[in-house]
Amino acid sequence: SQTIHQWPATLVQPVGSPLSLECTVEGTSNPNLYWYRQAAGRGLQLLFYSIGIDQISSEVPQNLSASRPQDRQFILSSKKLLLSDSGFYLCAWSPRVPGELFFGEGSRLTVL
Amino acid sequence: RKEVEQDPGPFNVPEGATVAFNCTYSNSASQSFFWYRQDCRKEPKLLMSVYSSGNEDGRFTAQLNRASQYISLLIRDSKLSDSATYLCVVNRLGQGFSFIFGKGTRLLVKP
């Protein structure tokens, strides 16, 4: 069966520090991969999605970036965090042929 | 107009009640529709897909109305454990395939 792992689960970072969140999917090949953010009391915002290695589309211009160095690995990064980057970050995958979306357990980021 | 809109609620209902949520979407080319459930501080989890002919899973029934561009979720015989936020999700075609989420409808089931 397919599984998705995301880490770290929780982190507290100072403003201006870098960020790296990682996500891996097991049990499937060529998945579509996604990064979402959910700010407190708000809906899920699509940040990036990827249909293959090094193929990434950005939905929102901001100080975040994403990379997909391997088929089942998706990384969210920032060189300098802002207070507004605080939120609940969710990695997700879907089959290449469009189907349901499955989420990792999320990473809760607090920027101070 | 937002791509996916939901009434945020909360819907406060007693145990055993029937409750219905609607969700409207703006992209008429959307092809796939889903309901997700999200518990507090947890990741969303798929509740059910929504098919053109409508579908039922136990106490849950989902309907799609393409002409009016909305989907609905009906929960019968509400349980305390149904308390959660219910997210409406549609795909968005164009430069790729991505899922767009509504902000969710909060349901509180009380004894």
**What's the pLDDT tens digit per position in A25-83?**
999 999 999 999 998 777 888 899 898 999 998 887 678 999 999 999 999 999 999 99
DSSP run (H or E) holding A13: strand A10-13
Look at B46 and A32 and tell me if their CB atoms are within 8 Å. no
Average pLDDT over residues A18-31: 95
Number of A/B CB contacts below 8 angstroms equals: 54
Q: What is the C-alpha radius of gyration for chain B, rounded to an integer number of angstroms?
A: 14
Res. B25: pLDDT tops 90: yes
Task: Count the neighbouring beta carbons within 10 Å of the beta carbon of residue A25.
Answer: 22
Nearest CB among A43, A99, A101 relative to B104 is that of: A43
pLDDT value for A69: 95
- The CA distances from residue A44 to A103, B48, B67, in Å, are 12, 18, 26
Nearest to B103 among A32, A42, A98 (CB): A42
How many of the other CB atoms lie within 10 Å of CB of B34?
22
Top residue of A4, A36, A44, A97 to mutate, by most chain B CBs within 10 Å, is A44
> What is residue B44's predicted lDDT score, i.e. its pLDDT?
96
pLDDT in tens, B50-92: 988 889 999 999 999 999 999 999 999 999 999 999 999 998 7
Tokens 């009016």 found at = B68
The size of chain A, in residues, is: 112
